[in-house]
Chains A and B, each alone.
Chain A
Amino acid sequence: MEKILEVKNLKKYFEIKKEGLKATESHILKAVDGVSFDVYKGETLGIVGESGCGKSTLGKTILNLHQKTEGEILFHGVDIGNLSPAQMKPYRKRMQMIFQDPYSSLNPRKKISYLLRQPMRVHNLDKEIDVEARIDQLLTIVGLDVKYKNRYPHQFSGGQRQRIGIARALSLNPEFVVCDEAVSALDVSVQAQILNLLMDLQKEFGLTYIFIAHDLAVVELISDRIIVMYLGRIVEEAPKVSLIANRLHPYTKALFEAFPEMNPRNRRVKKIIVGDVPSPIDPPSGCHFHPRCPFAKDICKSHYPDLKEVSPGHKVACWLYE
């Protein structure tokens, strides 16, 4: 299979300054801390994790919306993490993002037609194609009536706005789309519509998705492969089928165990992991999960385990599988 994207040892650190009474303290927040994975053409790679695990930062760093701290982001073999804005521009056309909040991701002062025209104008496509026809086509593709194109974003409901966001992302014919919590702000019944739309569009246009979400059921539904992150690192990576059959990392187990099932007869006494997610500014030593892990050993407290392949395509970073 063709690799679209190769991420190698990617790091994104933020410097956080706390001004105290005596001195300014500077902390490093390791939002993404040495992450490597590949994305293959036509697949959906799901990334799950709880707040503060770095999944959104990862998505934005891959698209060069955040300047990476270290590592490589190879898009068709080219490290886009080092490109200047001008050099990056042709790549922007090929990789797009769908955002979480359908209320803030559309400029409130612009008409829908403007929002859809803008990317084509910026990339000088307006000289090559009939932009107005393209706008109509895009609206039809995402299931909106063409007659609404001269309205403003606030006149649409959340689900309709998310459709507009999707139409805009598709306007440049991208091959690779990062969906960052693309359905989590929507009502359940609308969420289902948008998920269907995303799956249909993928089939129709051969899109490759990275699907970032905290909702495990959504990720398991839409993804072919899944990455589980905890405090800036990948703890498990596996094809969906393999992950459902065999959740290896104790964190993955705990996460899926905690997810409420749709069956009231399955209310079991759950093994609920204790404690909060630690702050990514000062993560625990060794394996970041060890303070909450029921299987923690001595080595977990001092050394971080490598991500190792334990069965074809199924990788886990845990000392239990060494």
Chain B
Amino acid sequence: MENNKFLDIKGLNVSFYTQKGVVRAVRDLDLWINKGETLALVGESGCGKSVTASSIIRLIPSPPGKIESGEIFLDGQDILKLSEEEMQKIRGDKISMIFQDPMTSLNPVFKIGDQIAEIFITHYGLKKKEALERAVEMLDMVKIPSPEKRVKSYPHQLSGGMRQRVMIAMALASPHPGIMIADEPTTALDVTIQAQILDLMKELQEKIQMSLLLITHDMGVVAEMASRVAVMYAGRKVESADVYSIFEKPFHPYTVGLLNSMPSNEKYKHNARLEAIEGNVPNLLEIGDGCPFENRCKYAKDICRNKFPEIKDMGNNHHVWCHFAGELNF
């Protein structure tokens, strides 16, 4: 079991040093992903999920960002100890990343075929012609229609869904695709296209036994894709469990609130008022050492303000960080 962890993050702390003060974007984060499984990292804007992703590929803009402490083991190797050159080799080889807006990672002045072929030229040492043939194969694999024609297209000539397929193709073109980090990969897409892309990701993941770290705010996407779920709030992980436990027996008041905030929750079939979480996400500059959800939590007591709770094991790898986990009735 222990050896199965493809990615293992231990005690990660990431801060941003801004003019107004220190923003502790990620605090004491532990996270692991087994080979071939999908972990969904869920939370709202500012919860630290994207910062976590950038830490894994070591692309935190520094300054102002800084990884303060922690270890990130990728396939048994602590990547935070690697030199920038060694890290460069791992990016696009064992780790690949896809973003919400594929345009930011595709070069607008090169044909997509050339951009994919580039990977085969650098990582496999192929000749241009062979590399282009492989690029066509990759596009075919991600189900882009008439790939022979599409390799000659520029990114702006493709639709959003097609561009995301190209990004996935590029991620899979690497020699040892071990883990794909997908940061809100379908948020900018239409529902029907989102379904296509999620479907494609699932299919390809099964085919090549790749781990997937799916970062999203959409509990619907989580339900569709994840095998395990970690919920983050204001820089902290507050709950993690397998996907069924999260949806059926959540223990943290924030997880419960998040599920209740979704209009697609089955309890709202009859036009009921939503059970919303009141208040706003706290300012990360002003957060103390207590539970960050304390100011919005119906069940908060004095202890919540002063102390971040210890991990509570609810059995079956279901972990909750709440002083009153298991004692609350939602």
User: Is the CB of A295 closer than 8 A to any CB of chain B?
Assistant: no
Q: How far is the CA of A189 from the CA of B195 in the complex (A)?
A: 24
Whether A189 and B161, one on each chain, are in contact in the complex, defined by CB atoms closer than 8 angstroms, is no
Shortest Cβ distance from A52 into B: residue: B190
Whether B264 and A217, one on each chain, are in contact in the complex, defined by CB atoms closer than 8 angstroms, is yes
Whether B223 and A188, one on each chain, are in contact in the complex, defined by CB atoms closer than 8 angstroms, is no
Whether A272 and B199, one on each chain, are in contact in the complex, defined by CB atoms closer than 8 angstroms, is yes
Contacts A193-B276, A265-B244 given: A259-B223 contact, CB under 8 Å? no
Residue from A190, A199, A260, A272 in contact with B220 in the complex, judged by beta carbons closer than 8 Å: A260
Whether A258 and B274, one on each chain, are in contact in the complex, defined by CB atoms closer than 8 angstroms, is no
User: Is the CB of B281 closer than 8 A to any CB of chain A?
Assistant: yes
Q: How far is the CA of A274 from the CA of B192 in the complex (A)?
A: 8
CB distance from A69 to the nearest CB of B (A): 25
Q: How many A-B residue pairs have CB under 8 A?
A: 127
Q: How far is the CA of A254 from the CA of B193 in the complex (A)?
A: 11
Whether A263 and B273, one on each chain, are in contact in the complex, defined by CB atoms closer than 8 angstroms, is no
Q: How far is the CA of A17 from the CA of B259 in the complex (A)?
A: 47
Whether B262 and A188, one on each chain, are in contact in the complex, defined by CB atoms closer than 8 angstroms, is yes
Contacts A265-B244, A267-B223 given: A276-B161 contact, CB under 8 Å? yes
Whether A221 and B263, one on each chain, are in contact in the complex, defined by CB atoms closer than 8 angstroms, is yes
Whether A50 and B217, one on each chain, are in contact in the complex, defined by CB atoms closer than 8 angstroms, is no
Residue from A196, A218, A262 in contact with B259 in the complex, judged by beta carbons closer than 8 Å: A262
Shortest Cβ distance from B274 into A: residue: A192
Interface size class on chain B is 35 or more
Which residues does chain A contribute within 8 Å of B191, judged by CB atoms? 50, 214, 216, 255, 258-259
Whether A188 and B226, one on each chain, are in contact in the complex, defined by CB atoms closer than 8 angstroms, is no
User: Is the CB of A38 closer than 8 A to any CB of chain B?
Assistant: no
User: Is the CB of B36 closer than 8 A to any CB of chain A?
Assistant: no
User: Is the CB of A273 closer than 8 A to any CB of chain B?
Assistant: yes
Shortest Cβ distance from A244 into B: residue: B269
Interface size class on chain A is 35 or more
Contacts A261-B264, A262-B259 given: A187-B274 contact, CB under 8 Å? no
Contacts A187-B45, A258-B195 given: A217-B190 contact, CB under 8 Å? no
User: Is the CB of A79 closer than 8 A to any CB of chain B?
Assistant: no
Residue from A157, A159, A218 in contact with B263 in the complex, judged by beta carbons closer than 8 Å: A218
Whether B260 and A192, one on each chain, are in contact in the complex, defined by CB atoms closer than 8 angstroms, is yes
Which residues does chain B contribute within 8 Å of A264, judged by CB atoms? 222-224, 226, 243-244, 247
User: Is the CB of A36 closer than 8 A to any CB of chain B?
Assistant: no
Whether A255 and B192, one on each chain, are in contact in the complex, defined by CB atoms closer than 8 angstroms, is yes
Whether A187 and B44, one on each chain, are in contact in the complex, defined by CB atoms closer than 8 angstroms, is yes
Q: How far is the CA of A199 from the CA of B274 in the complex (A)?
A: 10
Whether A189 and B192, one on each chain, are in contact in the complex, defined by CB atoms closer than 8 angstroms, is no
User: Is the CB of B104 closer than 8 A to any CB of chain A?
Assistant: no
**B contact set with A: CB distance below 8 Å:** 44-45, 159, 161-162, 190-196, 198-199, 217-224, 226, 243-244, 247, 257-266, 268, 271, 273-278, 280-281
A-B contact pairs, 16 of them (CB 8 A): A50-B193, A188-B217, A188-B261, A189-B258, A189-B277, A192-B261, A195-B276, A255-B191, A258-B194, A259-B195, A260-B194, A260-B195, A262-B223, A263-B247, A263-B266, A276-B162
